[in-house]
Amino acid sequence: MQPVEQAEYEGVDYAWVMQTTFVVTILVGAPVVALLSTAVALESWGARAAFAVRVGAPIWFVTAVAVALYARRNDAGDGGAEEDGAEEGETSGSEEDGTSEERGNDDAESDAPEDDPADDPPAEETDDGEKG
């Protein structure tokens, strides 16, 4: 099994910002849009959809800006966190003492059977002389 790749970066974790924006907008923005829609006559589904977009878009934008500012100020998400309490520049024990091993795809230890053309049965000839 191949190990999962992990990215290490500094600064704001924008994936966390997007996910948090999505969740907060659904939890807070949807009830706000529903409450505001009670004061407006919305006769058709097109009018309802247009209203939801007109009111929901600013809510989404304000939420995204607020979450991004929160993330920048507080190192929220994974953007500034170190794993296992390791300080910057330190390595784990297996890397430090040189015993880390790479998990590659060794040909000798592969679980998948190799396809050898010599193992295939010979092709039978059809009546018109073609092999099939």
In the chain, where are the structural domains located?
Answer: 14-76
pTM score, whole prediction: 0.51
Q: How confident is the model at residue 3 (pLDDT cuts 50, 70, 90)?
A: confident
DSSP label of 2: P
Cα end-to-end distance, the chain, whole Å: 37
Q: What is the pLDDT of residues 99-124, one digit of tens each?
A: 445 445 555 555 555 666 666 666 66
Q: How confident is the model at residue 6 (pLDDT cuts 50, 70, 90)?
A: confident
